[in-house]
Amino acid sequence: MRFFDRLARGVILGGACVGLAATAAGAATEGRPPNFIVLFCDNLGYGDVSPFSPTVHRTPNLERMAREGMKLTHLYSASGVCTPSRAALMTGSYPRRVNLHKNARGGGVLQPVEPIGLHPAEVTIAEVLKARGYATGMIGKWHLGDQGPFLPTRQGFDSYIGIPYSDDMTPREGQVWPDLPLMRNETVIEAPVDRNELTRREAEDAIRFITAHRDRPFFLYLPHAMPGSTRAPFASAAFRGKSRNGPWGDAVEELDWAAGQILDALKRLDLDRHTLVLWTSDNGAPRREPAQGRNDPLGGWGYTTAEGGMRVPGIAWWPGRIPAGTACAELMTLMDVLPTFAGLAGGALPPHPIDGRDVWPLLAGRPGARTPHEAFFYYQTDQLQAVRSGPWKLYLSLPARRPAAAKGAPEKKAPPAKAGGAQPARLYDVVQDAGETRDLAAQQPEVVAALMRHAEAARTELGDVDRPGRGQRPAGWVSDPQPVRLGRTVP
Ligand SMILES: [Ca+2]
């Protein structure tokens, strides 16, 4: 397609992955497939950490990680909110494909005691790697269903310790939500868990897991609970009140510490050259009144389809294999993690269609490597709102937009179309204009038309507000969901 060749060339000029190709393929792992660690923050914005944007937050460990690895500057979550973002990461599929783009009442994320969750038939990264002989551990916030059939231990993780959903989902009037549970595998071991200690304990549990499995390939998924969705995020005593940006800054600085502890442990155990670590976030910073985290230079906020909602900071680290001190501006998504890890591990892809692609050529810094994605789709719950191809992002013309999908908030219906008109289409070059300030729709009608064709293809496959997609698979369902309470082992 000639038109997209031109788009692709535009990306090359705009800055492809910079750096030397990794050398000595295979030598670093001595015939053993690599370990994988995913450090996944909650609601931490692109502008919250110094490798990506000037900030008052002190993040020296992430600076070091970026110096030793590759910054991913066009890495996308498949959603602006938690549950769909995590569903996409775990399955390599758009949230609509696995039907976790909304909760049972149409809201943005799963809540405690939800009847739905990630379908047991879905194949997670953990299942792909477990089948290759990996030890698989998860530490942290799951948020893909709190009922027995949906837990990490039923989705390929040998061990799990963490909270089953967001740390702001505490008992409240009119709900049967239990005290915030800390689970070990399928049993609640503490409730309410002390949220101040979550990040510290996650780091310590991670180091225990890494140490225990140092002699075999392992996959550790560590979705931190912080900074999360509360008005005042939590941090342990060593960090509380120490940053220049209140509780948000304290939480971010402790997350930086946690990353440093884990990288240090890998070096101490002589595992650094055997381990690919991805550090990233599930979506952009959402809070604006008052503002907490930041997404600049990206426009907009978390919980939306703006760049600031869905483009996330990412650092890929694997000494000797991922070129140090480099950056990649090619489009990647969190859905690519599953096929990329599967490829490196020699694992089999799921038997059903997925949307992620193997981006190892980009991470390895291979000259001329380009994004495998001809288009990327921005959904807000059930609604396709925007599409990107090459440097271009088109906000579709819609009668009305689904509003920001705040977690834990009462669900709102989409507002009716405003009298006098639809939301007009807008087109941005998000390579040159990450703030989404210069609408070029009028000047680029052929680009608009091409992106609309991509959008139509996505609607057919994944669906939209007015139609199911032919490629959708069901979410999991239980008929009688129960609160996850202290001392209780889920059925
Ligand atoms: Ca989130």
In one-letter notation, the amino acid at residue 417 is: A
Structural domain contains residue 444: yes
Q: How far is the CA of 304 from the centre of ligand 1 (A)?
A: 11
How confident is the prediction along the chain (491 residues), in pLDDT tens digits per residue?
A: 333 333 333 333 334 565 444 444 444 446 799 999 999 999 999 999 999 999 999 999 999 999 999 999 999 999 999 999 999 999 999 999 999 999 998 888 999 999 999 999 999 999 999 999 999 999 999 999 999 999 999 999 999 999 999 999 999 999 999 999 999 999 999 999 999 999 999 999 999 999 999 999 999 999 999 999 999 999 999 999 999 999 999 999 999 999 999 999 999 999 999 999 999 999 999 988 788 999 999 999 999 999 999 999 999 999 999 999 999 999 999 999 999 999 999 999 999 999 999 999 999 999 999 999 999 999 999 999 999 999 999 999 999 888 876 544 433 444 444 444 588 999 999 999 999 999 999 999 999 999 999 999 999 999 999 999 999 999 999 999 999 999 777 77
Q: How far is the CA of 78 from the centre of ligand 1 (A)?
A: 12
Structural domain contains residue 13: no
Paired tokens of 314 = 């990412």
Q: How far is the CA of 282 from the centre of ligand 1 (A)?
A: 5
CA proximity to 366, closest of 71, 8, 7, 17: 17
Q: How far is the CA of 303 from the centre of ligand 1 (A)?
A: 8
- Contacts with 325 (C-beta within 8 Å, 6 or more apart), sequence order: 19, 66, 67, 68
Shared domain check, 437 and 299:
no
Q: How far is the CA of 163 from the centre of ligand 1 (A)?
A: 14
Q: How far is the CA of 289 from the centre of ligand 1 (A)?
A: 17
**Whole-number Å distance between alpha carbons of 405 and 82:** 10
Shared domain check, 353 and 384:
no
Q: How far is the CA of 298 from the centre of ligand 1 (A)?
A: 17
**Whole-number Å distance between alpha carbons of 115 and 110:** 9
Q: Is 126 helix (H, G, I), strand (E, B) or coil?
A: helix
SS3 content of the chain, % helix, strand, coil (to 5): 25, 20, 55
Q: Which long-range contacts (CB under 8 A, 24 or more apart) does 237-241 make?
A: 237/196, 238/200, 240/196
CA proximity to 244, closest of 46, 41, 64, 50: 50
Q: Is 266 helix (H, G, I), strand (E, B) or coil?
A: helix
Shared domain check, 394 and 327:
no
CATH number at residue 167: 3.40.720.10
Parallel/antiparallel/unpaired status of strands 311-317 and 275-281: antiparallel
Structural domain contains residue 483: no
Cβ atoms < 10 Å from Cβ of 489: 11
Q: How far is the CA of 313 from the centre of ligand 1 (A)?
A: 13
Shared domain check, 429 and 334:
no
Shared domain check, 197 and 59:
yes
Length of the chain, in residues: 491
In one-letter notation, the amino acid at residue 120 is: P
Shared domain check, 304 and 258:
yes
Structural domain contains residue 20: no
Cβ atoms < 10 Å from Cβ of 446: 8
> Please, are residues 311 and 284 in contact by the beta-carbon 8 Å criterion?
yes
Q: Is 315 helix (H, G, I), strand (E, B) or coil?
A: strand
> Please, are residues 19 and 318 in contact by the beta-carbon 8 Å criterion?
no
What pLDDT is stored for residue 95 in this prediction?
98
**Total domain count for the chain?**
2
CA atoms within 13 A on the CB side of 60: 1
Shared domain check, 397 and 323:
no
Structural domain contains residue 25: no
CA proximity to 430, closest of 484, 376, 358, 382: 376
Shared domain check, 91 and 125:
yes
Q: How far is the CA of 45 from the centre of ligand 1 (A)?
A: 10
- Of the residues 74, 101, 143, 213, which is catalytic? 143
Shared domain check, 469 and 346:
no
Structural domain contains residue 21: no
Whether 82 sits among the annotated catalytic residues: the reply is: yes
Shared domain check, 458 and 315:
no
Whether 328 sits among the annotated catalytic residues: the reply is: no
CATH number at residue 395: 3.30.1120.10
Structural domain contains residue 5: no
Distances (CA, A) of 462 to 98, 306, 333, 459, 485: 9, 20, 17, 5, 36
What pLDDT is stored for residue 423 in this prediction?
86
Q: How far is the CA of 98 from the centre of ligand 1 (A)?
A: 18
**Whole-number Å distance between alpha carbons of 484 and 71:** 39
Parallel/antiparallel/unpaired status of strands 70-76 and 218-227: unpaired
Q: Look up the pTM and report it.
A: 0.93
Q: How far is the CA of 114 from the centre of ligand 1 (A)?
A: 18
- Of the residues 82, 119, 213, 454, which is catalytic? 82
Q: Is 313 helix (H, G, I), strand (E, B) or coil?
A: strand
Beta strands in 194-272 (DSSP E): 218-227
Shared domain check, 155 and 245:
yes
**Whole-number Å distance between alpha carbons of 15 and 72:** 12
Q: How far is the CA of 29 from the centre of ligand 1 (A)?
A: 34
Distances (CA, A) of 65 to 259, 265, 308, 319: 9, 13, 22, 10
Q: How far is the CA of 310 from the centre of ligand 1 (A)?
A: 10
∠ CA 176-182-183, rounded to 5°? 100
Shared domain check, 385 and 338:
no
Cβ atoms < 10 Å from Cβ of 288: 12
Instruction: For residue 459, give its domain range.
Output: 376-407+421-476
Q: How far is the CA of 292 from the centre of ligand 1 (A)?
A: 14
**What residues are paired with 30 via a beta bridge?**
none
Structural domain contains residue 357: yes
**Whole-number Å distance between alpha carbons of 301 and 287:** 7
